[in-house]
């Protein structure tokens, strides 16, 4: 009986194994990017009750609608999907906290945010905003070289939104006050003795 010596054919060669691994990694990457993109387009409505013991009975139930990460897009035609998601909600003011646009937003993205601000202002709701890491810088140089507010933020203010660049007092019922403050102020440490001690 003769025996043949030599290599047995392998089911998976090294080249095929690497190609298979690359294929699997590409598929997983595409899946993850798709899931992240879908999550960024999803509208989630969450209700949070924040107990404030010193709040008067008349001011109880004061509600803030908090929007974030708009990224300069329309949510349905003229924001119909977003408005439908919050249709049954009662709120007293609107706060948009960052990423109104993204780094690649064009005039259409800016118009989407302005249209949304208009919709809230037409309902008589005050709108406040702060910028996020995807938004353009706050100031720009004009033709004379003067530092001015970026045209997009100037347009937001012209449409009725107020930029929270300093503590802003909002009147509540029973002569109480809600303070809106930019996050940067929470990181400022007062100098020793500044509190009068």
Q: What is the pTM of this model?
A: 0.72
Residue 122 has pLDDT above 90, yes or no: yes
The CATH fold assigned to 41-49+57-187 is: Purple Acid Phosphatase; chain A, domain 2 (3.60.21)
Which alpha helices (DSSP H) does the chain contain, by range?
14-41, 80-85, 107-122, 151-158
Q: Which two tokens stand for residue 7?
A: 């290599």
Please give the Cα distance from 62 to 56 (Å, whole number).
Answer: 11
Please give the Cα distance from 161 to 75 (Å, whole number).
Answer: 19
Share of the chain above pLDDT 70, in %: 82
DSSP letters spanning 129-170: EE--TTSPPSEEE-TTS-EEE-HHHHHHHHTTEEE-SS-EEE
Tens of pLDDT, residue by residue over 67-117, are: 988 888 898 898 988 888 888 888 999 999 988 888 777 789 899 999 999
Give the pLDDT score at 48.
86
- Banded pLDDT at 189 (limits 50, 70, 90): low
**Domain spans in the chain, listed from the N-terminal domain onward:** 41-49+57-187
Q: Measured on CA atoms in the order 144, 139, 189, 129, is the torsion positive or negative?
A: positive
Pairing state of beta strands 139-141 and 161-163?
unpaired
pLDDT averaged over the chain? 82
């Amino acid at each position: 009986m003769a025996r043949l010596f030599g290599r047995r054919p392998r089911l998976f060669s090294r080249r095929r194994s690497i190609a298979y691994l690359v294929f699997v990694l590409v598929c997983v990457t595409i899946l993850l990017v798709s899931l992240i993109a879908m999550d960024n387009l999803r509208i989630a409505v969450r209700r949070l009750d924040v107990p404030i013991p010193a709040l008067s009975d008349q001011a109880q139930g004061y509600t803030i609608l908090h929007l974030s990460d708009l990224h300069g897009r329309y949510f349905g035609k003229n924001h119909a999907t977003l408005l439908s998601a919050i249709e049954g909600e009662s709120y007293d003011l609107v706060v948009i906290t960052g990423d109104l646009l993204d780094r690649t937003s064009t005039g259409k993205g800016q118009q989407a945010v302005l249209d949304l601000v208009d919709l809230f202002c037409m309902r008589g709701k005050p709108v406040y905003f702060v910028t996020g890491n995807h938004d353009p810088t706050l100031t720009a140089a004009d033709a004379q070289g003067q530092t001015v507010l970026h045209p997009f933020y100037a347009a937001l203010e012209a449409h009725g939104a107020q930029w929270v660049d300093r503590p802003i007092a909002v009147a509540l019922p029973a002569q109480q006050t809600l303070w809106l403050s930019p996050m940067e102020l929470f990181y400022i440490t007062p100098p020793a003795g500044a509190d009068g001690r």
